[in-house]
Structures are given as C-alpha cells and as structure tokens.
Amino acid sequence: AQSVAQPEDQVNVAEGNPLTVKCTYSVSGNPYLFWYVQYPNRGLQFLLKYITGDNLVKGSYGFEAEFNKSQTSFHLKKPSALVSDSALYFCAVRDRSTDSWGKLQFGAGTQVVVTP
C-alpha cells in the first residue's frame, strides 16, 4: 500500500522568506514522487517530480524538492517566497511495485499563505 502525509494544513510565510512544505510517504517498493500546485478555481498544475538519480529536483517557478530515502520525505522548498505562491500544494506518490501502476496517491494538501 502507498500513502502520503502532509503534516501541515497551512504554512504561513512572509514574502522574501524561505518556504518549505513538508511531505512524507510510505510505499512497499521504491517511490516516484510528485508535487502539484492548485490556485483558486483552477486544476492541479505539475511542479516537479523525483524519478531517480539526483536527490535534489528542480521544478517550475523556482521550486525545488529534496528526496530523502532514509527519512521517507520529499519536502518542497523555495528560497524566497512570493505573494503569488499563495496556493494549495499537493504531494503525491506512486509505488513502483504496485499492480495498480496508474494510480497516484495524493496527500491532503497544504495551504500556503504568503504575506506581503
């Protein structure tokens, strides 16, 4: 079975400060990990993914995420947050060993609020 936890319902950060959104996962095999962002009244937009190789993954809009196998984490980061980064962020995992290999397991989402 695969599962994802986003321990924070909301993250508040001042504009210009570093932003971190936490994600931990549980899979029986090796994971594929994804981050998506959802702006109000919009669909989910893909930010970045970890497949294999370098543990630091760079994505859209200046975001990056670090895969940590020992801590089973895939935290999303941005060095300097913008007000426009205010949105709902979802972490998702796919277990390579699962038979239902089309399925992504999504976390509950973390609301990011960036204040001017």
Partner 1 sequence: DAGVIQSPRHEVTEMGQEVTLRCKPISGHDYLFWYRQTMMRGLELLIYFNNNVPIDDSGMPEDRFSAKMPNASFSTLKIQPSEPRDSAVYFCASSSQGFQETQYFGPGTRLLVL
CB of 2 to partner 1, least distance (A): 12
Applying CB under 8 A, among 3, 16, 42, 69 the residue interacting with partner 1 is 42
Taking every pair of Cα atoms in the chain, the longest distance, rounded to a whole number of angstroms, is: 46
Using CA atoms, how far residue 41 sits from 26, 66, 78, 110, 115, in Å, is 30, 29, 23, 16, 20
How many binding residues for partner 1 (CB under 8 A)?
22
Q: Are 2 and 98 in contact (CB under 8 A)?
A: yes
Q: Are 77 and 64 in contact (CB under 8 A)?
A: yes
Q: Which stretch binds partner 1 (CB under 8 A): 8-16, 19-27, 42-50, 70-78?
A: 42-50
Pick the closer one to partner 1 by CB: 81 or 94.
94
Give, as one character, the DSSP assignment of residue 76.
E
Applying CB under 8 A, among 81, 90, 110, 114 the residue interacting with partner 1 is 90
Question: Which residues here bind partner 1, judged by CB under 8 A?
Answer: 32, 34, 36, 41-46, 49, 51, 90, 94, 96, 100-104, 106, 108-109
